Amino acid sequence: MNKKSSLKISDDAPIVTQADLDRARFRVNFQDAPRKQRVNIMLDTGVIAFFKLKAGQRGYQTLINETLKQAMHQEEIETVLRRIVREELAHGQGIVGSTNTS
C-alpha cells in the first residue's frame, strides 16, 4: 500500500534566508536552547585520529566539543580553588600574627 503525506506545500511559501535563521530562537521543550556555531579549525591529524578512535559511533566532533567544555569548567574550578587557597593562607597568616604578642 502506498502512503502519501497529506501535507501540502504551497508554491507561494516564503523562502527562508540565512538572516531568518540568524534571528531564529531555538527551543527545546519550549525552553530557549543554546545554539552551536559552525567553525573551521585546523587540528593535528593525531588529535583527529585520537578523538575518532575514542568516540566510536558517538561522533568525534561531539567528543571534541565535550572535551573543550570540560577544559573550560576545569579552568573555572582551578580559578576558584586558587582564590580560596589564597584567602585561607592570608587568613591563616593573620591569625598567627595576632596570637603572637610579646
Q: What is the pLDDT of residues 38-94, one digit of tens each?
A: 889 999 999 999 999 999 888 999 999 999 999 998 988 989 999 999 998 888 876
CA–CA distance, 47 with 26 (Å, rounded to integer): 31
Count of beta carbons in the 10 Å neighbourhood of residue 5? 6
Predicted structure pTM score:
0.50
Query: Hey, which residues does 27 pair with through a beta bridge?
Result: 32
Inform me whether the pLDDT recorded for 10 exceeds 80: no
- The cell for 48 is 583527529
